[in-house]
Chain A
Amino acid sequence: MLPTNDRPTIQLPERRRLRAYAFDPMSTRLHGRVLTLDIPFERGLQPGPMGTLLQVVDYDATRHVWYHPVDLDHPALLAQGGMAPSERDPRAHQQIVYGVAMSVIERFERFLGRRFEWRGSQPLRLIPHAFEGRNAYFDPERRAVVFGYFLADENPGPNLPQQVVFTCLSTDIIAHEVTHALVHRLRRYFAEATNPDVFAWHEAFADLVALFHHFAFPEIVAAAVAGSQTELREADAILDLAKEFGATTARGGALRTAIDSARTPEGFANATEPHERGAYFVTAVFEAFLDTYRSRIADLRRIASGGTGVLPAGALHPDLVNRVTIEAVRNADRLLSMVVRAFEYLPVVDVTFGDVVRAIVTADRSLYPSDTGHLRGTLVESLRQRGIFPEAVTSLADEALVWPQPPELPGGGPLTLAGDPLSDLESLIVATTLDLDVHGESGTIPWKRIRQSLLAWSRTYADALGLDPGHPIAMTGAHVSYLTAADRQPRPIIVVQFMQRREDLEAREGLKGVPLRAACTVIARVDGLVEAIVPKPLPRSTPTTDLPESLRAFAEQQDEAGRKRMRAILEFARSVADDDPLAAWLTAPSVLRIDFARLHANEEDEPRPPTDSGRGQPAMNDEART
């Protein structure tokens, strides 16, 4: 910055340090550990905190009171890394939800290679003391993460009886719920249950991010590594981190069971409840992490043990702890980034775990073609052992798993965005680049023009995208991502999401408000060439007879896949209704009543640890839904 008034200006800091519990008040009390969150320094942060991405609204709906908002820019707080964690001061609570949420968002940005922005630039609301109740959940309609607080049971384990437990003080719960909100931003139709995997994926991903977020804190990992004392034999220290995660959150029950089960497909195959199903995915990723971690530290162990790999008894050398920690953290980052990046390659609607595997492989293969660390192979194998692999692929080799290229166009040319769409998208490419410069100001993006030219493009090529040219198409997202490739260079891609709601089919099937959506994700290089499409078709109503030969075969295949997909969606909706005790009484279809609050409320049967976020409210809020 330029000096003014003859005095040099003090540069604002780039980072803000805030303290939080590791990972909740209970474990901090037991271990004495406190986290230091290192997050971007938001300029113009108001009391709340209220920034551009997050608003902490500390209104207590049970007690009808506001709590004093924290001003993180107060000099005293800037000078000491924020407030010291305290259960008795609501401002410390506000700081913790803000800090953890920001750190999760920043990791997302890093993996996705672009600045995160909420839809319409409307900030996410965090409500740390929303109500008295054993629940915390993301509420898409309120665009808010709401945290409850409750009195501990008479026999609350390490907590004091009758003590107030705040869900907003658990790093894991905050990370989990904020991740739900992030996923909702990236794929809003994943809030529509169309198969047993959709919500399971939401849960699995939120757990995965929360679990791997532990590795964002090297001091915690180092303590775990050093705590394993003699041998590092089974990497128990790291496993214990996962188990501790299990012990402090409601989702933990299912996760603990999954971690303790054998690496066989049965558990996943029989699991129908979203947390349970999701837990197998989380476990498989975590096991892949452990496998690679073990091989990555084998050399360190040999170096430290005169070549035997058998470490001497007693405490580990601090340097070894440090090096092992670095490996663990780096490895965790690499695995989590594989999964987060896969988001760009996911379908727009109706996601399955099979789709997730294919998206992971497609994304990773384009960035790391040779898979030198064998990370991708290890992950695919670990998922396979758990029974998680796509249907209808010929093998689990990379080539079979990557998403297909679009069909050949009549005349033999490849599908490309070149022309009007690409020239309109150029401004988006520039804006994304400017956003990545922390001091830069982003340009204005001509969304209207981009949308129009992409929609015109989608109408022209609907048959090649698995969509029906006879029905309107909507564009539900377009962005540019700078993913990092093996050569450490950014590899920009354009991702566009198209969606087509088929009210004709809904009417034909007599669905009362259950949407039937076809969709296609298009992944293109910045020169416009479409590298992959991820279609989710529905039966066509437009005949294929007039299509040229090459497209006709593709369109017919999509139509067939669409019929199968629609049957599965209808069958799933029926099975949900059959099991729904409210189906007898309310007119709205049961699948529309599944949401995050209800999901978290389903954990009733679990023996409830003191800080879990069990019991909650099902979705059909009569005020909210009408």
Chain B
Amino acid sequence: MPVLRWIRRNLVVIAGLLTLAYMILPNIVVMVFSFNKPNGRFNYAWQRFSLDAWKDPCGVADLCGSLSLSLQIAFWATLGATALGTMIAFALVRYRFRARGAINSLIFLPMAMPEVVMAASLLTLFLNMGAQLGFWTVLIAHIMFCLSFVVTAVKARVMSMDPRLEEAARDLYAGPVQTFLRVTLPIAAPGIAAGAMLAFALSFDDFIITNFNAGSTVTFPMFVWGSAQRGTPVQINVIGTAMFIIAISVVLVGQVIASRRKNNARP
């Protein structure tokens, strides 16, 4: 049977595409249901097409407030984790020092720990210190768990950097600061950017650690969580879809610019 033979020959491709479909399906559902007009409080069953939610994305109490809070936290957490993580990555790759093994473990462990354990133990600390739960405790927690991921991303890039490039800069009259700004940083930039993007995504989307340490502060994921109990407004889907489209466009535009630059550089 030619059909069967074709299937056998392309088995990997078919299986891969099915997995891809499995991964994309929920996004399509989220998108489609952003145009729904549900009857009850929950947006789980299709009723009829409507643009209501798109016309008024902030029409639900606290929704846009929680979104803006999440963006703020993600911004500061990214900044903090990227700065601290980049410094650690450089120290690990470029210098010799004592206790390297212990420091490596300290960086690896947060990634090898179920989130709920970190969340619970951090809450114990805050309760013991009598800290006021809210924006600051969430920010502290986010910087903590993003740090290791930034270190890993930046380290990979710095390790593949030729140390002779920095020597060449010093040889060409660039002092330590100039060498760092003109050579080290630009070349390490893709790694730092990857680490920062990862940190932003992790922070923005974090639920478990935030839920433990936010007190009465409500971030966007916490708002979604709460709405799963109280009733899911269509606006959630609108925001989810909008974020998805914005992110995809940014990636695609970036790709186009990159490939055009490559083509222009050719004679």
A and B bind:
no
A: residues with CB less than 8 A from B are none
B: residues with CB less than 8 A from A are none
